[in-house]
Amino acid sequence: MPKNNLQIRMAADSVAELFIYEEIGGWWGITAQNIAQNLKELRAQKGAINTIKVRINSPGGDVFEGVAIYNLLKQDSANVHVFVDGMAASMGSVIAMAGDTITIGESAAFMIHNPSAGAVGESEDLRHMADLLDQVKSSLMTTYQKRTGMSAEELTVLMDAETWYFGQEAVDSGFADEVFEAPAMAASLRNESLNRFQDVPEKAQSFFKAKTTEGSAPQTTQEETPMPQAHNQPAAGGTPAPAASVQTVVTEPAQPTAQDRNDGIKAVFAPFNNKHDDLLIECLGDATITKESAQEKLLAKLGSNTTPSTPSVAAVAHVGNGRIVFDGLLNALEARVFRDVKAEKDNSFKSYSLLEMARAALAEKGVSMSAYGDRMGMVGAAFTHSSSDFGNVLADIAHKAMLRGWDETPETFTQWTREGSLTDFKMNKRVGLNSFPSLAKVEEGAEYGYGTVGDRAEQIMLATYGKMFSITRQAIINDDLSVFTRMPQAMGRAAARTVGDLVYATLTDNAAMADGQELFSAGHKNVLTGGLNVANADKARTKMRTHKDGDAHLNIGPGYLLTPVALEGSARQILHSESDITKDNSKAANPVRDMAQQISEARLDSASATTSYLVAGDMYDTIEVAYLDGNSAPRLEQQQGWSVDGTEFKVAIDAGVSPLDFRSFVRIAG
């Protein structure tokens, strides 16, 4: 999973504190999976958690990720106490509804509005998206109704209007239970977080855009003012809500910030449909360029080519995801790393080196290059800066390369084993289903009897296998693409080999079964000596097909002949010759012709170059290869390097291997 800014800790005995101080979902935000995993680990380390304090300062984000977080907290056995510290907007307000108690800061904000989305396609696609948004709105409205008791009609008006509440207003409207006092101070929020909303009241804009001077407190004066009714909130029954007296803070006019400058420059380039991103990045990266000088540079470039015009409406509607630079960098790097991926025609980053991509990622977020004295420092900032997308771009490429290595590795065990799923790391049992009693005659009017599969149950348990690799600052500066290809692909191949090693070790190490005997033993009647030949292949088939379970004839048919590479040629000759190669009379028919599919495996040579194994066909239980929750691909986790200057990646896979039934195998020893 991509790294995000989730923080969760034990605040006291049996009390956990969860900080949702970020957007919801996406590559950069808070996810339900991370919260669930951290709560599980915290309980394993610290014991019971009776109370979860959820502190929220979030502009919202992904709807379904937010719903998952809401349900996760709502269903938790602990008491959930939500604190709205700064802002609970959009999906942040839905998550707040999970609290058994909701406390909001006296100057904190709470906002509800309609869900929105982008759509590309024909008219039916757009209608489908509109229907989906209506369904999502209805679902969110139900959540608000349970807390506030408002009617669907009242909430529809509030959500359509994008309604904001502050402190006591949220309590009065039923969205919170109580207000807590906070120190008199100015709050700060990135402009792009406010720009996503359509109808931010002036009160909210002035409140969140107030900035404190770093290293000193803002000059403030306090005055008593009546709290106005919530923005666009209709008064119940036509009567205005009573005014409340609160403390407000008046700050001196805020000075333009670096983010204000970047927003202004982006606005200059916005009408030209991303056709001049190269110049945009250049302007953003130079701290001396203002909005006005950026406009002059753009006009100078346009003068030699074309003139700005209002873009025409396309036949197909498209709403971008707001991550132009991220998507551009990702496509450009994919095109350099993977031969089957082409750079988009208008992608201005397709000729960039890794170092230039790191600089572009920082510049897009308004980070001045002058703050870093050398290239090492600049690349380090691209890795570690909280708003930089560079690390996420690298993680995405590394993950795709790893999966390609996993998918492209030629492993033979997948042809004859059975894939399974386990939900935890406890010892589990598997009951063999190769045998089942024959059906009994049921006389007229008599009851049916129960069939059983006995008490034999093979054990299987998951284990985690993994290793780490790193992408260093030096590799970025040297524009070394091998760190995105050979290393992750090699780790993906290693994951596949690890599972293969476990499978074939089950055969060569002669694993113990639940009955106390080894997989291959005289008691199991599945061992032959004398090496691989036509006669032994025929005997092995006979042993397998004549196994019984009580009075039941199992008639297990062979499907695969596993041989070391040293016997590959002999095995093919034995299985595919028309005549019996061991007979002098060449017209004698081959009794084992095409009885099984031959698979040669080098791991068997390491144990014995003369021992082969006859394995049952696909309809029978042989060996189960189980993965955690059925995820058969390895996972990639990322963190900022501590022992290296760069980013560290961990490749891991959770797998368990166990034989299910000895009657599905016959060993032919040399």
The CATH number that applies at residue 508 is: 3.90.1690
C-alpha R_g of the chain: 33
pLDDT at residue 253 tops 50: no
What percentage of the chain has pLDDT greater than the value 90?
A: 26
Mean pLDDT on 326-341: 80
pLDDT of 492 reads: 81
Average pLDDT value over all residues in the chain: 76
The first and second tokens of residue 444, run together, are 């007229």
Query: What's the pLDDT tens digit per position in 522-570?
Result: 999 999 999 999 999 999 999 999 998 777 788 899 999 999 999 999 9
Domain annotation covers residue 532: yes
Domain annotation covers residue 246: no
Query: What's the pLDDT tens digit per position in 570-597?
Result: 999 999 988 887 766 567 889 999 999 9
pLDDT of 221 reads: 36
Same domain, 569 and 477: yes
The first and second tokens of residue 449, run together, are 């009897």
Instruction: At 135, give phi and psi (nearest 5°).
Output: -65, -40
pLDDT at residue 462 tops 60: yes
CATH number at residue 163: 3.90.226.10
Quick check: is 388 catalytic? no
Same domain, 650 and 558: yes
pLDDT of 231 reads: 45
Same domain, 264 and 205: no
Position 469: which residue type?
Answer: F
The first and second tokens of residue 491, run together, are 């780790």
Instruction: At 667, give phi and psi (nearest 5°).
Output: -95, 130
Among 58, 81, 90, 276, which one carries the catalytic annotation? Answer: 90
User: Rounded CA gap, 581 and 88, in Å?
Assistant: 80
| Beta-ladder partners of 571 | none
Mean pLDDT on 294-307: 64
pLDDT at residue 120 tops 50: yes
285, 258 Cβ separation under 8 angstroms = no
307-315: long-range pairs with CB below 8 Å, 24+: 308/271, 308/272, 310/271, 311/271, 311/272, 311/273
User: Rounded CA gap, 639 and 623, in Å?
Assistant: 36
Of these ranges, 31-35, 241-245, 539-543, 627-631, the one predicted with the greatest mean pLDDT is 539-543
Same domain, 84 and 153: yes
Mean pLDDT on 226-238: 41
pLDDT of 369 reads: 56
Q: How confident is the model at residue 226 (pLDDT cuts 50, 70, 90)?
A: very low
Same domain, 26 and 156: yes
**Domain carrying residue 616:** 411-439+454-670
Mean pLDDT on 29-45: 87
Domain annotation covers residue 251: no
Among 58, 93, 107, 113, which one carries the catalytic annotation? Answer: 113
User: Rounded CA gap, 609 and 627, in Å?
Assistant: 30
Same domain, 643 and 594: yes
Of these ranges, 301-305, 327-331, 480-484, the one predicted with the greatest mean pLDDT is 327-331
Number of separate domains in the chain: 3
Name every residue whose Cβ is closer than 8 Å to that of residue 351 and which is 6 or more positions away in sequence. Answer: none
Domain annotation covers residue 620: yes
User: Rounded CA gap, 451 and 440, in Å?
Assistant: 9
Please give the helix or strand (H or E) that residue 24 lies within, else none: none
pLDDT at residue 385 tops 80: no
User: Rounded CA gap, 2 and 187, in Å?
Assistant: 29
Same domain, 299 and 155: no
pLDDT of 185 reads: 39
pLDDT of 232 reads: 45
Q: How confident is the model at residue 220 (pLDDT cuts 50, 70, 90)?
A: very low
Number of neighbouring beta carbons within 10 Å of residue 472:
18
Q: How confident is the model at residue 201 (pLDDT cuts 50, 70, 90)?
A: low
Query: What's the pLDDT tens digit per position in 414-458?
Result: 999 989 888 888 888 776 555 555 666 777 777 766 555 555 567
Would you tell me the crossing angle of helices 354-364 and 324-337 to the nearest 10 degrees? Answer: 170
Same domain, 381 and 428: no
Position 134: which residue type?
Answer: D
Domain annotation covers residue 644: yes
The secondary structure of residue 608, as a DSSP letter, is -
Quick check: is 113 catalytic? yes
For the stretch 362-387, what's the b/e string if a residue is b when 16 or more beta carbons lie within 10 angstroms of its beta carbon?
bbbbbbeeeebeeeeebbbbbbeeee
pLDDT of 202 reads: 63
The total number of residues shown for the chain amounts to 670
Which of residues 134 and 658 earns the better pLDDT score? 658
Same domain, 466 and 612: yes
Domain annotation covers residue 633: yes
Same domain, 286 and 419: no
pLDDT of 454 reads: 52
Q: Decide which of 181, 199, 233 is a domain's last residue.
A: 233
Q: How confident is the model at residue 186 (pLDDT cuts 50, 70, 90)?
A: very low
Same domain, 499 and 640: yes
User: Rounded CA gap, 369 and 476, in Å?
Assistant: 17
Same domain, 475 and 365: no
Residue with token string 């002035």: 206
User: Rounded CA gap, 121 and 439, in Å?
Assistant: 56
Q: How confident is the model at residue 384 (pLDDT cuts 50, 70, 90)?
A: low
Domain annotation covers residue 147: yes
Which of residues 200 and 356 earns the better pLDDT score? 356
Which of residues 109 and 389 earns the better pLDDT score? 109
Domain annotation covers residue 248: no
Evaluated on CA atoms 355, 356, 362, 366, the torsion sign reads positive
Mean pLDDT on 152-180: 90
The first and second tokens of residue 172, run together, are 């009065």
